[in-house]
Amino acid sequence: MNNPTVNSLEGVLALRRKRFLAWLKKNPDVWTEFVSMSFEAIGNGRKHYSAWLIAAVIRHRHDIKASDGEFKISNERIGWLARFFHHKYPEYKDFYATRLMKEERLLTELKSRSNVVHLSLRGDREG
């Protein structure tokens, strides 16, 4: 990605989001546990918490149960779990600290430049 465009970066983000949602659909128990532990922490008075810590507990529980060793929560998915929690429960949008993904960071930078031309693939025309 030598010369990323806004559209290509948005496409990459959309693909990553789609992959996460497909994984989540195959692993609904992970989401259930993540939400349950999140609300347990909130109920105990936590204003902020670690998505990594919750994922570590889920990893531990599933590793003990799984004999094939196939269960995985990748590090990238932990960030997506936190973002999805914020999306589903906007009243807790600051519960987990999340960093901008590389594509989000580049998009912010590109969109802040005054000489960026935003291309539309839908054929919409301004003017």
Please report, for the chain, the start and end positions of each structural domain, with discontinuous segments joined by +. Answer: 6-112
Q: Helix, strand or coil for residue 96?
A: strand
65 pLDDT above the threshold of 50: yes
**Residues 31-59: b if buried by 16+ CB within 10 A, e if exposed:** bebbbebbeebeeeeeeebebeebbeebe
- Per-residue pLDDT tens over the stretch 76-126: 899 999 999 999 999 999 999 988 888 888 888 887 876 656 565 555 555
The predicted model gives 12-39 an average pLDDT of 93
70 pLDDT above the threshold of 80: no
Specify the pTM: 0.76
